[in-house]
Structure 1
Amino acid sequence: MGAKVTAVSSNGTYSFTKPNRESITLLEGLGVEGDVHAGTKVKHRFRVAQNPDQPNLRQVHLIHEELFDELAQDGYTVAAGELGENVTTRGIDLLGLPTGALLHLGATAVVEVTGLRNPCRQIDDFQAGLMKKVVGRDESGAVFYKSGIMGVVRRGGAIRPGDAVTVTLPDGPHRPMKTV
């Protein structure tokens, strides 16, 4: 079985979680139609306060559903959309992708990977102790982030649960993702 979309979510107002939808529409250069984070300039409130003229590298938030399985083993119950993601996937190593990888979602949509999601303290407000499960240090002391990846829409289109996900890797040396 190949990689697929398992859920899609959006919210027109600021909140930590996003309700699941039957479908979402990605708009080229903007993000998810009707979502509070759509736009060419940064929309995340913390980043807006720092500099409202930054380009929006966080138009689409994707999370691998396997993270929810891992969290369940530690006693956490997390469902699609509850960590604020727009697209939930299964069967693809999102965290292992390089910056610039292209994710083909459904029939036409393409999202370019811009980096890792840097979760905020709201994650612990959602479920106490969850931050330590999605941010930590590995054996070498390097910081890791498991709370998904961010991207920008390169080609628009509708996405639905069950849609296929394929990847086109960038040419040249691959750059590991950093937080955006």
Structure 2
Amino acid sequence: MSAFWITLNFVLVLLALYLTVHLYQRIRLLQQKGSGQSAQEAQQLLAEHIEAVRLENEQFLAEVRGLLAKQAIEIEKASTSKRTEKMNAQVKATEKKTEPEAVSGNHSFADTLNDQKEQLHKAVKSKPPLSSVSGTEIPENEWMPPIDNVKDQVEESPFLHAMKLKEKGYSTTEIAKEMNRGKGEIELLLKLHGKV
């Protein structure tokens, strides 16, 4: 009878050992699948985020181009109106000068033209030509941004802003409203934070 119990005990120990090895192998396979899926999920999230950023950049560039085109048109209109005002002022000035001269007879028409020509040469000489580093002249109608009005700004990244709001206890919908972004984009940012 003791031989039966010893044999049964040996069989049970072998069965337990087999089940332990089998479960260990299953657990390793599940862990490998899980890590592969999380890496694949992270890559997918990153690809979606990159696509969203690309679309946002294209939209921003289109808006900037539109604003630059508007500003160029406004500058062109302003410069043409200034030119016409200057021309009208010069015509009026020459008319006023020629009337007294015609009456007095002291200056001839040629003297008036010579005076205006000298004034024009003085104005051209007093203005230094705009030139770039290479020495080529920049056309007058080319728009240059006003350097005095440029101010540096430090902006917080959307990722950091979303994380700060999340730490304050805001929900995903509230964060999206606060940042003027889509709920999906905010969810993506928060999911990426968990993966990093």
TM-score, structure 2 length as denominator?
A: 0.13
Structure with greater proportional helix content: 2
Structure showing greater relative contact order (alpha-carbon pairs closer than 8 Å, 6 or more residues apart):
1
In our comparison, the structure showing a higher alpha carbon Rg is 2
